[in-house]
Chains A and B, each alone.
Chain A
Amino acid sequence: MAPLRLDLSLPLRAFDLELALEVGPETVALVGPSGAGKTSVLRSIAGLARPARGTIACGDDVWFDSARRVDRRPEQRSVGFVFQEYALFPHLSVARNVAFGGGRPDGLLRRLGVEHLAGTKPTELSGGERQRVALARALAREPRVLLLDEPMAALDPHTRGAVRAELHDLLRELGLPALLVTHDFEDAAALADRVGVLVEGRLRQLGPPAELLGAPADPFVAALAGANVLAGVAEPGPDGLTRVRLDGARVVYSTDEAHGRALLVVYPWDVSLARAAADDSALNHLRGDIISLVPVGNRVRVRLPFLTAEITAASAERLAFRPGESVVASFKATQARLLVGPDE
């Protein structure tokens, strides 16, 4: 499988999109807030938008090269595109949608488990079925690159998990260079081998999901990955630890080194909650009143004034926390990352 290589510059309304990226036989997810230029990257690769400068190539096949005045039409690029909301042709049956680009749809429909829907019109399908038909259609021309624009956004929350697992398996099985964009870090981390964080047209960090979670390059990446980001002032503390005086006078400790203004990053799933501070190995204990409890699948997100904790639904039930109740949030100094952002 030839890798997809791009190095492009595309002026958008508020900023220029500047991106260099190589995608091998793997899935790369671009994640970022809406308006970060994610969809523009996909449209440029597919030939639906024209970059001001740069190159886009799949192996030796050059699709775009501003210096050599190469700009292949969308229909001449070997791209499978799964559009946001899927963009299935409403006037054609599932089989005709898949056969639109040529070829016989039967095999693909069977492979994606939607052969029984061959004669159905797209408007009668569920979100998950639509996604599979869109995938079958995108794959029908045997593209060399697969592009997916927010493939999970149009799904019901309760089917999301299952559909995500299926999509993950399919992407692995295909072994095509696949680039997907999403605003949801969880989807990106679940589906992709590498995740790139795109903010205002620039790639802030690119790496395996674990790397982004474990060593976020900046506060924005940390926040996008779901972390609590707390501002404060760091100074050397006892026992080789760093003491951080948070804005609001709370004091916490971290094993990371920093001095002066710093940001403390802690993930909600590393924070435990109790009614009284336990005498355990965790160094950091912060007391606050519960603002809200929101169930997310088998977990519960508990919002406190200064951070968010994530505990299992079972624990939440056992401890019977209520909004307004005062609790102690604890986390270890080893789980408190310190960042000295350029913004601070």
Chain B
Amino acid sequence: MRALFAALLAAATAIALAFLLLPVAAIFLRVPPGDLLGALGHDVTRDALLVSLRTSAIAHAAVLLIGTPAAYLLARRRFPGRGVVLTLIELPLVLPPAVAGIALFAAFGRAGLLGDQLDAFGVQIPFTQAAVVLAVAFVESPFYFRGAIAAFEGVDGALIDAARTLGAGPARVFARVALPLAAGGLGAASALALARGLGEFGATIIFAGSLQGVTQTLPLAIYAQFDQDFDTALAISALFIVVGALLLVTLKLYGWLRFASIFRSRFAPSISS
């Protein structure tokens, strides 16, 4: 009975691993590495890479710039309705990306909520690169918020208090104490958000379309190349897997280093004088 159960567990694990890894492995097995690199030189791929890098960089910078102070406020202040705010921030996490695209349309489209105001300034967002930036920022920001709020909440309140009694105003406390101590958590949250933003597909294709060189990001290029040039689609996919693996390894390595440093400080023999 016990042996049977152990075998069952092992089989389930093997099936899960195979299911998750087989498709990933297939990408690299299907096309030789040399051809993959060659496919990355195609116009479609190059254009998509540039669009992806540009839009992700702008969106990510905006998320960090606005999200970091906002997360600090939400982590440190207790106010009525804080729980509601925290829940609303996470709403985009559970929305299907297509719904996010429609929602962005409803807000920033010509007939949308802010359509008239934007029109008055001659600004049109849908199907432009700005739309890609908005879509990417919209779907990636909850990932950053969640991690950043947790990182700031993890900073010992006594350290903030200590800084204030030492003459530091709120801005200096943020810059010299909260930010450096939360840096690790902020970095991890930033990496996860960046990965999510780079992979954005659904909201972008609805809100920004898939114009090569303008709004066609790498994921959209995969979709576009899928029935035309399967090898290019494979090459871009392989690129994603490499980038994703690098991000994961960095995160794990960081977590491991942090653990190691905590371990060192907790269990180091204290030298009393």
Contact = CB atoms under 8 A, between A and B. Distances in A.
Contacts of A260: none
A89 B273 contact: no
A3 interface: no
A141 B158 contact: no
B270 A125 contact: yes
A224 interface: no
Interface residues of B, number: 23
A100 B163 CA distance: 8
A91 B181 contact: yes
Interface string A86-117: 01111100000000111000000000010000
A49 B116 CA distance: 48
Given A90-B181, A100-B176, A74 B165 contact: yes
A80 B164 CA distance: 11
Contact of B272 (A46, A87, A128): A128
Interface in A146-188: 156, 159
Contacts of B273: 113, 126, 128-129
B271 A87 contact: no
B166 A137 contact: yes
B162 A126 contact: no
A315 interface: no
A329 B46 CA distance: 93
A212 B84 CA distance: 52
A129 B272 contact: yes
B177 to A, nearest CB: 6
Contact of A74 (B161, B265, B270): B161
A87 B167 contact: no
A126 B177 contact: no
A144 to B, nearest CB: 13
B165 A123 contact: no
Interface in A68-91: 73-75, 77, 79-81, 83-85, 87-91
Contact of B162 (A83, A91, A113): A83
A191 to B, nearest CB: 20
Contacts of B165: 46-48, 74-75, 77, 79-81, 138
A100 B168 contact: yes
A48 B164 contact: yes
A140 B159 CA distance: 17
B180 A156 contact: no
Contact of A89 (B162, B164, B265): B162
B161 A100 contact: no
A84 B163 contact: no
A329 B128 CA distance: 92
Nearest to B168: A75
Interface size band for A: 35 or more
Nearest to A132: B273
B229 interface: no
A343 interface: no
Interface in B146-193: 156, 158-159, 161-169, 176-177, 180-181
B271 to A, nearest CB: 6
B3 interface: no
A124 interface: yes
A102 B272 CA distance: 28
Contacts of B181: 89-91
A127 interface: yes
Contacts of A77: 165
A145 to B, nearest CB: 11
Interface of A: 43, 46-48, 73-75, 77, 79-81, 83-85, 87-91, 100-102, 113, 121, 123-129, 137-138, 140-141, 156, 159
Which 6 A-B residue pairings sit nearest by Cβ, starting from the closest?
A123-B265, A101-B166, A126-B272, A87-B158, A74-B164, A81-B165
Given A89-B163, A123-B265, 19 more contacts: A46-B161, A46-B165, A47-B165, A48-B161, A48-B164, A75-B164, A75-B166, A75-B167, A75-B168, A75-B169, A83-B158, A89-B162, A100-B168, A101-B167, A101-B168, A121-B265, A126-B270, A127-B270, A141-B167
11 contacts: A46-B165, A47-B165, A74-B164, A75-B165, A83-B161, A87-B159, A100-B176, A121-B265, A123-B264, A127-B270, A129-B272
Interface of B: 156, 158-159, 161-169, 176-177, 180-181, 264-265, 268, 270-273
